[in-house]
């Protein structure tokens, strides 16, 4: 069976000619369903570019990305959007919630694009908010929530569609360390209990410790690929 995500010689070059910079210099990578993978490395090492490509937000300059065996480079903008709509969830460092919009409506948004009816949408959004421990905060807008709570709303928005993969770009970058560990526990729970594959970019080793596999990036290549017993596995 084909791996869930497979990169084959993926290169990403920004700019042209003299100014061209290779953010990714030929990456081979396979991620199986159910894995929790952390991407680590210094800034500019290519880990975020890799995540964007895995999230179908960006396309490789060369090489092939297969999502469930489907060659993504042959898809157009709309088909990429549909792939994101039906299989992917995103959690960003800056939360990226719609401002002045209630938590409930933020979580409902992906379901709007899936064409789910209003009543069903609210039911599922409430359930997702409950799953991240935000029951009773449905009417709060992002400005009325703390950073940790905002990121929980973002996680609820990512999981409300029951995605195959959640892609998280430094999800704990903007919250204090106590909240960060709570958020990681939440992601580990999603991975274990719902079998959602998680790919997370981080530069903090104690966050990467929650993952079952750590990929280390340097200058656009993968220099380390280690499997580990995730933290909290025993707990």
Partner 1 sequence: MIVWNAVQQTLRQVRRNPMRSALTTLGILIGVAAVIAMIALGRGAAARVNQDLAGLGQNLLFVVPGTPGQGGPGAAASVRSLDVADAAAIAREVDGLAGVAPLVSRGGVAVYGGASWRTSITGSSGDYLTVLKWKLARGRAFSEAELRVGAPVCVLGHTVHRELFGAVDPVGATIRVGSVSFRVVGVFAAKGSSSFGQDQDDFIYVPLATHQRRITGSREVAMIFLSAADPDASGRIKTDVEAVMRTQRRLQPTDTPDFFVRDMKEAASMVGSITSVLTSLLAAIAAISLVVGGIGIMNIMLVAVSERTREIGIRLAIGARGRDVLAQFLIEAIALAALGGIAGITLGLGLSLVATSQLGLPLEIDAVLVLLPFGFSAAVGVIFGFFPARKAARMNPIDALRRE
3 state DSSP class of 123: helix
Where in 78-97 is the site for partner 1 (CB under 8 A)?
Answer: 78, 81-82, 84-86, 88-90, 92, 96-97
- Residue 141 as a binder of partner 1 (CB under 8 A): the answer is no
- Residue 100 as a binder of partner 1 (CB under 8 A): the answer is yes
**Sheet bearing 62-67, strands edge to edge:** 21-31, 5-14, 62-67, 70-71
70, 114, 177, 185: residue in contact with partner 1 (rule CB under 8 A): 114
- Cβ neighbour number for residue 165 with a 10 Å cutoff: 23
Stretch that binds partner 1, among 34-42, 52-60, 61-69, 124-132 (CB under 8 A): 52-60
N-to-C CA span, the chain: 32
Comparison of 94 and 224: residue with beta carbon closer to partner 1 = 94
User: Which residue's entry shows tokens 């990036």?
Assistant: 217
Stretch that binds partner 1, among 104-112, 172-180, 205-213, 223-231 (CB under 8 A): 104-112
Contacts 24+ apart (CB under 8 A), 79-87: 80/56, 83/56, 84/55, 84/56, 84/57, 85/110, 85/113, 85/114, 85/161, 86/114, 86/161, 87/163, 87/164, 87/165
Smallest distance from partner 1 to CB 212, Å: 25
Q: How many residues bind partner 1 (CB under 8 A)?
A: 31
Stretch that binds partner 1, among 22-30, 111-119, 140-148, 196-204 (CB under 8 A): 111-119
The backbone torsions φ and ψ at residue 230, rounded to the nearest 5 degrees and listed phi first, read -65, 145
Comparison of 116 and 184: residue with beta carbon closer to partner 1 = 116
- Residue 17 as a binder of partner 1 (CB under 8 A): the answer is no
Smallest distance from partner 1 to CB 110, Å: 4
| Largest separation between any pair of C-alpha atoms in the chain | 55
- Residue 57 as a binder of partner 1 (CB under 8 A): the answer is yes
**Binding site residues, partner 1, CB under 8 A:** 52, 55, 57-58, 77-78, 81-82, 84-86, 88-90, 92, 96-101, 109-110, 112-115, 117-118, 157, 161
């Amino acid at each position: 069976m084909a791996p869930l995500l497979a990169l084959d010689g993926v290169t990403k070059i920004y700019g042209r000619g003299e100014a061209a910079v290779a953010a990714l210099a030929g990456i081979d990578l396979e991620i199986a369903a159910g894995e929790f993978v952390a991407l680590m490395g210094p800034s500019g090492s290519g880990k975020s570019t890799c995540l964007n490509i895995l999230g179908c937000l960006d396309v490789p300059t060369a090489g092939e990305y297969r999502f469930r065996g489907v060659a993504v480079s042959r898809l157009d903008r709309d088909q990429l959007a549909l792939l994101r709509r039906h299989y992917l969830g995103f959690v960003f460092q800056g939360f990226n919630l719609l401002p002045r919009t209630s938590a409930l409506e933020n979580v409902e948004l992906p379901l709007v694009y899936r064409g789910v009816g209003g009543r069903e949408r609210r039911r599922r959004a409430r359930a997702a908010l409950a799953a991240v421990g935000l029951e009773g905060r449905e009417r709060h807008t992002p400005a009325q929530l703390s950073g940790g709570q905002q990121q929980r709303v973002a996680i609820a928005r990512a999981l409300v569609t029951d995605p195959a993969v959640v892609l998280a770009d430094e999800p704990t970058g903007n919250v204090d360390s106590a909240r960060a560990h709570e958020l990681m526990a939440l992601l580990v729970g999603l991975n274990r209990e719902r079998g959602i594959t998680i790919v997370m970019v981080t530069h903090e080793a104690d966050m990467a410790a929650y993952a079952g596999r750590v990929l280390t990036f340097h200058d656009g290549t993968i220099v380390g690929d280690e499997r580990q017993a995730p933290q909290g596995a025993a707990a």
